[in-house]
Homo-oligomer: A and B are copies of this chain.
Amino acid sequence: MTVLQIQALEGIPEITAGDDLVAIIADAAGDTLRDGDIVVVTSKIVSKAEARTVQADDREDAITAETVRVVASRTSESGHVTRIVENRLGMISAAAGVDASNTPQGTVLLLPLDPDASARAIATGLRELLGARVGVIVSDTLGRAWREGQTDAAIGAAGVAVFEDLRGQTDAEGRLLVVTQPCVADEIASAAELVKGKAARRPVAIVRGRGDLVGDLDLPGARSIVRPAERDMFRLGTDEAYDQGYAAGVEEMWEERDTAG
């Protein structure tokens, strides 16, 4: 395998609640889908089809409702608050995936309730309808620590390996490649973004050439990419962690004083 081809599907209509994404994708793909293809679907249309649009005069209130834990927040000089939060899915992102772009005024779009289940439903449907053994990735645009800008990542996956399994493989010197675990699902989502674009209505891309990653529908989903907070060295923002430590230090000294006094 040395050639990868990534193609955006043309002709995907505006998606509304209740739309059958399997039929719409199959229709747009025609008979071009083959065994081993990976279908990358922007989470936005999955959310729309699943009726995840909610009324929200205030986007900030919607973010608060979707947040299970505030990881970090910062207020700019102009008073704008940026919040990095953990959502129900364990994902860390700005704004908990609450999307106010490309949505009607006065509404916001929430992430799919269970993007792995969404991916599985699409993969199952496409496999049955077209007879092609495809994998499906549901993608979203995420910011990163330490690096500017955003990249697309996998928030749902079905029928495709999310990590490349290098266990047992050796490098050219014969040493085991044990540490490296490429997150191919995120790489595929990023690759697909390059043809889908943000402003255009091309929310689905087909990635061909890594059929080795496509497998059973019960492969681990994108939930397995999320690192649990307790194992994450960056589970809390620097300022937030400092403030917690400061408060604990002061409290510790108060207790000592009380004991001593």
Q: Which residues of A contact B (CB under 8 A)?
A: 1-8, 10, 14, 72, 74, 82, 84, 91-92, 101-105, 141, 144-153, 162-164, 166, 169-173, 175, 177, 180-184, 186-188, 190-191, 193-195, 198-199, 201-202, 209-210, 224-227, 232-254, 257
A135→B166 CA distance, assembly (Å): 30
A257→B166 CA distance, assembly (Å): 58
Contacts of A1 in B (CB 8 A): 195
Q: Which of B72, B180, B233, B253 contacts A237 (CB 8 A)?
A: B233
Q: List 22 A-B contacts (CB under 8 A).
A: A1-B195, A2-B10, A3-B8, A3-B195, A72-B233, A84-B233, A101-B180, A105-B173, A145-B145, A148-B163, A148-B181, A148-B225, A148-B227, A150-B182, A182-B193, A190-B191, A236-B241, A241-B241, A245-B246, A245-B248, A246-B252, A249-B251
A188→B187 CA distance, assembly (Å): 9
Which residue in chain B gives the minimum CB-CB distance to A7?
Answer: B3
Contacts of A202 in B (CB 8 A): 2
Q: Are A191 and B148 in contact (CB under 8 A)?
A: no
Q: A2-B10, A186-B151 are in contact. Are A232 and B191 (CB under 8 A)?
A: no
A191→B6 CA distance, assembly (Å): 10
A198→B164 CA distance, assembly (Å): 10
Q: Are B238 and A183 in contact (CB under 8 A)?
A: no
A220→B187 CA distance, assembly (Å): 23
Q: Are A147 and B153 in contact (CB under 8 A)?
A: yes
Q: Are B234 and A146 in contact (CB under 8 A)?
A: yes
- 4 A-B pairs closest in CB distance: A249-B249, A245-B245, A149-B183, A191-B191
- Separation in Å of the A10 CB from the closest CB of chain B? 7
Q: A104-B173, A191-B194 are in contact. Are A147 and B244 (CB under 8 A)?
A: no
